[in-house]
Amino acid sequence: MPGKLKVKIVAGRHLPVMDRASDLTDAFVEVKFGNTTFKTDVYLKSLNPQWNSEWFKFEVDDEDLQDEPLQITVLDHDTYSANDAIGKVYIDIDPLLYSEAATVISGWFPIYDTIHGIRGEINVVVKVDLFNDLNRFRQSSCGVKFFCTTSIPKCYRAVIIHGFVEELVVNEDPEYQWIDRIRTPRASNEARQRLISLMSGELQRKIGLKVLEMRGNAVVGYLQCFDLEGESGLVVRAIGTACTLDKLSSPAAFLPACNSPSKEMKEIPFNEDPNPNTHSSGPSTPLKNQTYSFSPSKSYSRQSSSSDTDLSLTPKTGMGSGSAGKEGGPFKALLRQQTQSALEQRGGSPHRFCRRREFPFFTLTAFPPGFLVHVGGVVSARSVKLLDRIHNPAFVGIMGNTRSYKLLDWNSFNSDEPETRDAWWAEIRQEIKSHAKALGCHAVVGYSESTSICEEVCILSASGTAAVLNPRFLQDGTVEGCLEQRLEENLPVGCGFCHIPYDELNMPFPAHLTYCCNCRKQKVPDVLFTTIDLPTDAAVIGKGCLIQARLCRLKKKAQAEANATAISNLLPFMEYEVHTQLMNKLKLKGMNALFGLRIQITVGENMLMGLASATGVYLAALPTPGGIQIAGKTPNDGSYEQHISHMQKKINDTIAKNKELYEINPPEVSEEIIGSPIPEPRQRSRLLRSQSESSDEVTELDLSHGKKDAFVLEIDDTDAMEDVHSLLTDVPPPSGFYSCNTEIMPGINNWTSEIQMFTSVRVIRLSSLNLTNQALNKNFNDLCENLLKSLYFKLRSMIPCCLCHVNFTVSLPEDELIQVTVTAVAITFDKNQALQTTKTHVEKSLQRASTDNEELLQFPLELCSDSLPSHPFPPAKATSVDYSSFADRCSSWIELIKLKAQTIRRGSIKTTVTVEKASPMGEGNFRNRSAPPCASSTVGVVKMTPLSFIPGAKITKYLGIINMFFIRETTSLREEGGVSGFLHAFIAEVFAMVRAHVAALGGNAVVSYIMKQCVFMENPNKNQAQCLINVSGDAVVFVRESELEVVSTQQPTANCQPSCPGGEVTT
């Protein structure tokens, strides 16, 4: 019996009126965990019941603690008929299972009903006593920490980064069970919510087990997704990066956002003439390795069509992984070998999980300094699968886990074997791995997986960035790593990652290489695409910007296999065009690299949508991009010529304007410095738009953009004209606004503390049935552009500000509907301070450059001792003013209320406000002193952000992962304000529930917040709508930098909590 779960129901408030006669409610609460249920007394005739229950105690194994959510149901007692449910609260008690996260969950939770939404709040206290059982880690994986953050969490240090972990579980979707026909929508929704909660608990536990087997203690970059496959079931899958983390003992006072790219080049005068012919460039990006394969699921293998539809574009370069490039330097080969052996070593152990470890993938997008050695480019793979359950007669227990009965207690058949899905993903991962290898890389970073499902067709996608990593973090032997590190340090900082990892003479694709503009020693490609964040030490010129490629393709409606074939045939064209668009737009911005690239292909009934988002930057190490040239096809026509030249002028103007806007003024590089690395004579190759419909051409095109000096757009038909127009119609954000889809905006480093996270959803209905591709593209383009314009307008009061981590998701819920969901955070910054810091930064970097090797030698040592840049913590001042007296004031809630009452009596709202403002700061104190949970009568502010940091603040504690799934349904759509009113309210409620859970854990922010799913379905004729939302993030405690001094004096008290033993990581 390794754990005791204790729950106390304190009170409720704002309950709905359940008895129309008395306008009151007779409420009581059922507390359920596993199969045990407790009930409180009925609190008669009140909308604000005070149950103040005893401690309900559940004695359970820690396995259950990990899998099961605590389920609290609030009901209205009815003497004559059945008790009416008011709503439920699901509490994930996982955060209580780590030794250093939260120790108690206590606070007001919104009572949620899937039909009515939030109906009042309930105050609950939850505690867990874990007994020290030696066998504890056998079945469960208590103690493994999970982080959504895709970098090493701020108050930890990575000792070892073990690598990829993944798992998936499959179950039948309750919505599609026969019983769903007879039960109420509420019961069905609740069954679904509960099932998903159980499944994600189980998934997390299983992943935890894998991590423990790898001897890790944490999962970073944990991404869990649901595939609602409809009839064929429900898949919950997760990927992450196993790590061994060490808690940093002394909190380092550094601002994460300040690690901004240096701007050494800023002082050098800008040359107006970009001279496009000097530096040739083409779309020779490493976004090469896509695979489109349609392989029917196993049941279909009898079909001979599989070979027809299997379309592989993988370049067979035949590059051996061991072949060291001549230019690569002696250590590079050594490095690669070592890392590979390091990776293989672990993978080699004959173990039942060994199959999974063969993938050297990392879900991280930002890395400790020195971890990332070289970046090859984006690798991606897609595969079209048919979901089919008839041929999968699977039975209970197939999940290979004795505990699966829990998930199956009400359904006797399992829809599909997880093995099938596993095999699908394994296939794709294998592709990715081989692509990376072809790029001379042994690892993939910034790795992610996604699906798009329409009816029975499913597109599985995976993408990442091929990279060469420093083995130091992958191995236990740190001594060797240090040696390696020192070698590596000879490389100039800020450009090393741009240097090509592959062999110049044996390139995986024709690329145009030049000597690095920064160090002039190594070769770099002309353009770099990656899925990761901009490395903090990267040398960047100017600011970055959000670049999007948007594309629609009509597709005939078809069934099953024909449909899948049609889709796989379309995919390469989609990818190709998305890529061309990205390249064009990048050039139009005068930039040469993309970070955070995310290409989403969505499948619908009659169309395919492609949306690629990335942040464009100008990397100082890479050559200046060439311009875009337009070529006409009918040269005889004079007016046409004129038109072409007019267009050309417009494009050139736009490029010049963008360069000014994003402050891209690279130093003029003369021909001699660059040398002539191009042996081939320059030749113009054309981008043949009209012919791109034949499939052989695509293979050709994708690989042959290389050797040419300027990007030529040939306008030979209206289609291409359309494209050029769309290039030019992308409006830059209004002045004072910047946007990017990465964590930090390149070129901005002085964030102020104001942040606003938001979600915006738009659905448009396409008007006509006979749509053309052009019209569709225009509609989609307008949709996205208008959405961005709306965001800029709404957030205008925050100027100057930057939209960070802009995340677009496209879905096609119905035939003529396109849904776009955007989540991002707007962060304000100080315009004036920017200049100052840049200056000091430049000075600093100049200083650093001028100092001799001594410093360089010290650097690796520093790195070994501490991977994060830590500055000495400023000594806490004894003059902590009256913070303690404030704490005293608030230690008793009665006093607080008195205080409030007084202020009210005095009659000024302002004084009340000051009490409230102070409360978030004092909140930690309420809890630490175990004051009654009703202590804070005001609602503390909980910040939410998709970023891993909070500007101007320091994260002091990670409290655990937040992973929530909600369903909301209505049968009175019109009464709730139509679809917009319905979804608006629901999203607001989701935010509220996330905030409430974080606050109950004692946190004041959610970082790395992501809305993974927002599935919206409507049936206006029936006045019905349903929406499913899945969100996740990391609950944290942060302290404002300005308050750090004060809190440091408080910290001893916080650590002295009886239930928080030390705060050490148990490995």
Partner 1 sequence: MTSELDIFVGNTTLIDEDVYRLWLDGYSVSDAVSLRVRSGILEQTGATAAVLQSDTMDHYRTFHMLERLLHAPPKLLHQLIFQIPPSRQALLIERYYAFDEAFVREVLGKKLSKGTKKDLDDISTKTGITLKSCRRQFDNFKRVFKVVEEMRGSLVDNIQQHFLLSDRLARDYAAIVFFASNRFETGKKKLQYLSFGDFAFCAELMIQNWTLGAVDSQVDDMDVDLDKEFLQDLKELKMLVADKDLLDLHKSLVCTALRGKLGVFSEMEANFKNLSRGLVNVAAKLTHNKDVRDLFVDLVEKFVEPCRSDHWPLNDVRLFLNQYSASVHSLDGFRHQALWDRYMGTLRGCLLRLYHD
Contacts with partner 1 by CB under 8 A lie at 13-14, 108, 110, 118, 121, 734, 756-767, 779, 782-783, 786, 789-794, 796, 817, 819, 904-905, 907-910, 912-913, 916-917, 937-939, 941-944, 977, 979-981, 983-985, 987-989, 991-992, 995-996, 1016
Residue placing its CB nearer to partner 1 in the complex, 413 or 758 = 758
**What's the distance, CA 529 to chain centroid?**
18
- The distance of closest approach from Cβ of residue 580 to partner 1 in the complex, given in angstroms and rounded to an integer, is 25
Question: What residue type is 376 in one-letter code?
Answer: G
201 versus 1003: smaller Cβ distance to partner 1: 1003
CA–CA gap between residue 715 and residue 697 (Å, rounded): 18
The smaller minimum CB distance to partner 1, of residues 268 and 731, is found at 731
Closer residue to partner 1, CB minimum distance, 391 or 725: 725
We find the least distance from the C-beta atom of residue 724 to partner 1, in angstroms, to be: 22
Identity of the residue, 762 or 889, whose beta carbon is nearer to partner 1 in the bound complex: 762
Minimal distance in Å, beta carbon 740 to partner 1? 19
C-alpha distances in angstroms, 144 versus 21, 210, 378, 834? 52, 10, 31, 40
Beta carbon nearer to partner 1, 611 or 713: 611
**Of 434, 614, 430, residue with least CA distance to 527:** 614
User: Which residues on adjacent β-strands are paired with residue 1006?
Assistant: 944, 1035
CA distance 943 to 955: 12
| In the complex, minimum distance from the CB of residue 804 to partner 1, in angstroms, rounded to a whole number | 14
Q: Shortest CA distance to 65 belongs to which of 194, 201, 190?
A: 201
Its sign, for the CA torsion 184, 187, 191, 193, is positive
Q: Which is nearer to partner 1, 77 or 789 (CB)?
A: 789
Task: Tell me whether residue 258 or residue 817 sits nearer to partner 1 (CB atom).
Answer: 817
643 burial class (0-12, 13-18, 19+ CB within 10 angstroms)?
Answer: middle
User: Alpha-carbon distance 375 to 593, whole Å?
Assistant: 12
Q: Which two tokens stand for residue 741?
A: 């889809």
What whole-number distance in Å separates Cα of residue 202 and Cα of residue 168? 10
Q: Quickly tell me which residue has 């390249």 as its tokens.
A: 583
Which of 144, 611 has the CB closer to partner 1? 611
Contacts of 467 (CB under 8 A, 6+ apart): 372, 373, 374, 375, 376, 436, 441, 443, 444, 445, 497, 501, 532
Q: What phi and psi, each to the nearest 5 degrees, are found at residue 762? A: -135, 140
| Of residues 640 and 758, the one with the C-beta less far from partner 1 | 758
Q: Is the Cβ of residue 81 or residue 767 nearer to partner 1 in the bound state? A: 767
Closer by beta carbon to partner 1, 15 or else 459 = 15
Shortest Cβ distance from residue 763 to partner 1 (Å)?
Answer: 4
Residue 185 vs residues 193, 639, 817: alpha-carbon distances, Å: 12, 65, 24
Q: Answer positive or negative: Cα dihedral of 877, 878, 884, 886.
A: negative
Q: Find, among 950, 945, 951, 953, the residue nearest to 1031 by Cα.
A: 945
Residue 913 Cβ vs partner 1, minimum distance, rounded to whole Å: 4
CB of 1026 to partner 1, least distance (A): 14
> Coil, strand or helix: which one is 265?
helix
540 in Cβ contact with 559 (< 8 Å): no
Kindly state the tokens that stand for 301: 């293998």
We find the least distance from the C-beta atom of residue 979 to partner 1, in angstroms, to be 5
| CB within 8 Å of 954: residues ≥ 6 apart | 154, 251, 253, 254, 255, 1038, 1039, 1041, 1044
In whole angstroms, how close is the CB of 980 to partner 1 at the nearest point? 5
Least spacing, CB of residue 797 vs partner 1, in Å: 8
The CB-of-221 to partner 1 minimum distance in angstroms stands at 23
Nearer to partner 1, 846 or 904 (CB): 904
Q: How far is the CB of 743 from partner 1 (least distance, A)?
A: 18
Distance CA 1052, CA 387 (A): 56
- Neighbouring CB atoms inside 10 A of 529's CB total 24
- The least distance separating partner 1 from the CB of residue 816, rounded to whole angstroms, comes to 10
In the complex with partner 1, which residue's Cβ is closer, 645 or 937? 937
Is the CB of residue 1006 less than 8 Å from the CB of residue 962? Answer: yes
Find the shortest distance in angstroms from Cβ 756 to partner 1.
Answer: 5
